[in-house]
């Protein structure tokens, strides 16, 4: 009994579903670190040299400028890196191999252009080529670019006013085919749609019913200047033209009984005014007092005939300089030498001969004119040619529809 109590039989562990714990090994194990390769001083110096070269190469790649001639790789072209000139031609001493790569074969050696003066010359050459291209492009575009200045002209079939056989003072307008505004004028116009109103019974609002559409009259104000006799003659023709187109044909005219002629307004391109027909209903101009006036035609104030003057490049006459000077003075009605005494005002007034009325027309050197135009559209055009679709897409504007 005592043996059983002192030495009890081993009790098997209960099966709780978990694996038994591992046996603990309390023996001491030594830690062995990983093997580290050893390097000597020579190998370390070589490694540092490789790293330094790599850093230097990276610095050159980021800071070195591009080759001067991008057509040629410096490694292929040679030490100087230049095989072509600015026009793309091979320089002396260079040739192409079977792969069309430039190869230096000797001869004149061209140093690379790295100075500031060479860079400036290349920039100047590029600017010159750009200017030449711009000039050539302007010459090409010039024939196709229409004159968009504002102009009022007669019908192409007209044979009156400045288109007559003897236009008189209207002759200068024939060269410009009508009145050409030298400065951009101010043009005012308006388009209106008219509606009739009706008072509706037992309603808070009026009723509006479409009646018609109309283009109101145009107001044109422009500036004209005259700085020489030719411009003065043109300005005089402009004034007299607008005087004439406000009068009907009457009396001895071949078109007696006809109303004032139509004029056609052009300017700013085909989608603005493209020979739009209209009539002049009002013309006004102001002769200012604070500007100079210039003679439109004739001799100068002293009545000297300037048409028989010798050419400036004719030089002295063969007989000598003195005879040449005397002939010049005699032609202009002058005498050599000074007067013995100061002339009186009466003597000066006697030399001024400005009594010819046909040569006494003056115009201001600057003036403003204003005209009022009334748009005209024939019944045939309105009923047979007009359509909102054609007007909206611009086709009728090119045909002169208002």
Instruction: Report residue 334 as tokens.
Output: 């002058």
Question: Nearest to residue 179, comparing CAs of 402, 379, 373?
Answer: 373
Query: Which residues, 6 or more positions from 91, have their beta carbon under 8 angstroms from its beta carbon?
Result: 82, 83, 84, 85, 108, 110
**Predicted model pTM:** 0.53
Euclidean distance between CA atoms 380 and 277, whole angstroms: 14
Which sequence spans correspond to the domains of the chain? Answer: 157-296+361-398, 299-335
pLDDT in the model for residue 56: 72
Cα 325–chain centre separation: 51
The tens place of each residue's pLDDT in the chain, 402 residues long, gives: 444 445 555 555 555 555 565 554 555 444 444 454 555 667 777 777 777 777 776 666 555 444 444 444 444 444 445 666 666 777 777 777 777 777 766 654 444 444 455 566 667 777 777 777 666 666 555 554 567 899 999 998 899 999 999 999 999 999 999 999 999 999 999 999 999 999 999 999 999 999 999 999 999 999 999 988 889 999 999 999 999 999 999 988 888 889 999 999 999 988 899 899 999 999 999 999 999 998 887 654 444 444 444 444 444 444 555 666 677 667 666 665 665 665 555 544 444 455 555 557 899 999 999 999 999 998 888 888 888 998 899 888 888 888
Please count the residues of the chain. Answer: 402
Predicted pLDDT of residue 190? 93
Distance of CA 359 to the CA centre of its chain: 42
CA–CA dist 135, 128 (Å, integer): 11
Cβ atoms 283, 378 nearer than 8 A: no
Q: What tokens were used for 283?
A: 């013309």
Instruction: State the pLDDT at residue 140.
Output: 55
- Tell me which DSSP letter residue 166 carries: S
Give the pLDDT score at 340. 60
- pLDDT at residue 195, as a whole number: 94
Q: Both ends of the chain: CA-CA distance in Å?
A: 139
Residue 315 confidence (pLDDT): 47
Using alpha carbons only, how large is the chain's radius of gyration in Å?
A: 49
3-state secondary structure of 286: strand
Closest residue by Cα to residue 163 from 180, 176, 181, 147:
176
Quote the CA–CA distance of 388 and 402 in Å, as a whole number: 12
* Residues 84, 69 contacting (CB under 8 angstroms): yes
What is the rounded distance in angstroms from the CA atom of residue 263 to the CA atom of residue 180?
13
Task: Return phi, psi of residue 141, to 5°.
Answer: -80, -20
Residue environment code for 16-30, b if the CB has 16+ CB neighbours within 10 A, otherwise e: eeeeeeeeeeeeeee
Residue pair 207/200 in contact by the 8 Å Cβ criterion: yes
């Amino acid at each position: 009994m005592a043996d059983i109590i002192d030495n009890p039989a081993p009790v098997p562990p209960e099966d709780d579903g978990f694996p038994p714990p591992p046996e603990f090994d309390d023996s001491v194990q030594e830690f062995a670190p990983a093997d580290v390769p050893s390097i000597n001083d020579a190998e370390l110096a070589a490694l540092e040299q490789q790293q330094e070269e790599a850093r230097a190469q990276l610095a050159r790649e980021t800071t070195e400028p591009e080759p001067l001639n991008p057509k040629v790789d410096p490694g292929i072209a040679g030490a100087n890196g230049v095989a072509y000139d600015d026009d793309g031609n091979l320089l002396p001493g260079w040739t192409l191999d079977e792969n069309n790569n430039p190869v230096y074969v000797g001869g004149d050696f061209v140093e690379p252009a790295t100075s500031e003066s060479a860079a400036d010359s290349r920039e100047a050459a590029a600017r010159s080529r750009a200017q030449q291209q711009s000039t050539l492009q302007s010459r090409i575009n010039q024939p196709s670019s229409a004159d968009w200045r504002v102009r009022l002209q007669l019908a192409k079939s007209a044979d009156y006013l400045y288109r007559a056989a003897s236009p008189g003072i209207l002759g200068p307008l024939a060269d410009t085919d009508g009145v050409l505004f030298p400065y951009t004028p101010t043009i005012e116009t308006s388009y209106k749609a008219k509606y009739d109103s009706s008072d509706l019974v037992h309603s808070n609002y009026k009723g509006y019913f479409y009646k018609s559409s109309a283009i109101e009259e145009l107001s044109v104000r422009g500036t004209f200047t005259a700085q020489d006799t030719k411009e003065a003659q043109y300005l005089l023709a402009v004034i007299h033209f607008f005087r004439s187109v406000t009068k009907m044909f009457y009396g001895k005219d071949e078109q007696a009984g006809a109303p004032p002629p139509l004029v056609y307004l052009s300017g700013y391109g085909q989608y603005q005014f493209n020979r739009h027909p209209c009539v002049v209903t009002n013309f006004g101009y102001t002769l200012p007092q604070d500007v100079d006036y210039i003679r439109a035609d004739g001799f100068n104030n002293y009545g000297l005939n300037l048409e028989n003057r010798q050419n400036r490049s004719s030089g002295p006459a063969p007989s000598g300089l003195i005879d040449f000077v005397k002939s010049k003075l005699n032609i202009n009605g002058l005498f050599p030498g000074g007067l013995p005494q100061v002339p009186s005002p009466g003597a000066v007034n006697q030399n001024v001969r400005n009594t010819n009325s046909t040569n006494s027309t003056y115009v201001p050197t600057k003036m403003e004119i204003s005209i009022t135009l009334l748009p005209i559209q024939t019944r045939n055009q309105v009923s047979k040619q007009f359509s909102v679709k054609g007007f909206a897409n611009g086709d009728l504007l090119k045909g002169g529809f208002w």
